[in-house]
Amino acid sequence: MKSHAAPPQGASPVGADAGATPLRADSLRAIIFDMDGLMLDTERLATPAWQDAKDAIGVDFDMSLLDAMIGRNYQDCRALIVERHGEAFPTDRLMEAWHVAYDAIVERDGVAIKHGLLPLLDWLEEMRVPKAVATSTRRARAMTKLANAGLATRFDAIVGGDEISRGKPAPDIFLLAAARLAAAPSSCVVLEDSAPGVRAAIAAGMTPIMVPDLLAAPPDIVGSATLVLPSLEHVHAHLRALPRMG
């Protein structure tokens, strides 16, 4: 197993003059993980699944929508498709075909766990830091994904995108996860790969750390006090190196 090197130059927060309070190990009371693209290497499976789905039902689906759908829940993705293609478009059939195609790809190729996740979870358990998952994926599908990856029992709470009325970038899913952990939002660190997820964490009054997956951090996040790190291995090193009070 690789050793956990310190974050490289350029991995420190940018825009620190925005007024963000530096995180200390003593204030790390809970940590909330996104799932797809952050813990599981699943986002790159979505594009071929959409291609297979549109071919299966014979529709002309605008694949340029996919970037905007990253990090969004089922209802928001559906709304994006309807907005682009109109009410007469077979949106529900397409999304159902996507799930079939996606599951077939997973069955054939499997899903990889992101590098650095397991040592990070081990360390958080050693430190007795409560952990939750807050994913835009519907709860039943999220539970299946986590169980298949051997991760379902590693978390104290799991919140799916169908358990809240407003998806990311609204703060609802993170606030519910914090409530299930009995943690104050201000004491929660959120790990996210998507811009909607980072914005949701900020709106919830939490401290986000972004680990970009398919898309780079956008300018508004790069220009904020949000810490952007290249991997979960770097997150682990950063959290371990936090200063302690006293």
Report the alpha-carbon distance of residue 37 to residue 15 in Å, rounded: 25
- 174 and 202 in contact (C-beta within 8 Å)? no
The region that residue 239 occupies, defined by phi over 0 for left and psi between -120 and 50 for alpha, beta otherwise, is alpha
Specify which residues 190 forms β-bridges with: 32, 208
- Measured from the Cβ of residue 120, the count of other Cβ atoms closer than 10 Å reads 23
DSSP letter for each residue of 42-55: -HHHHHHHHHHHHH
**Of 34, 36, 172, 193, which one is the catalytic site residue?**
34
92 tagged catalytic: no
- 63 and 50 in contact (C-beta within 8 Å)? yes
**Preceding omega of 169 cis (within 30 degrees of 0):** yes
- Non-local (6+) Cβ contacts of 96 within 8 A are none
- 144 and 137 in contact (C-beta within 8 Å)? no
**Catalytic residue list:** 34
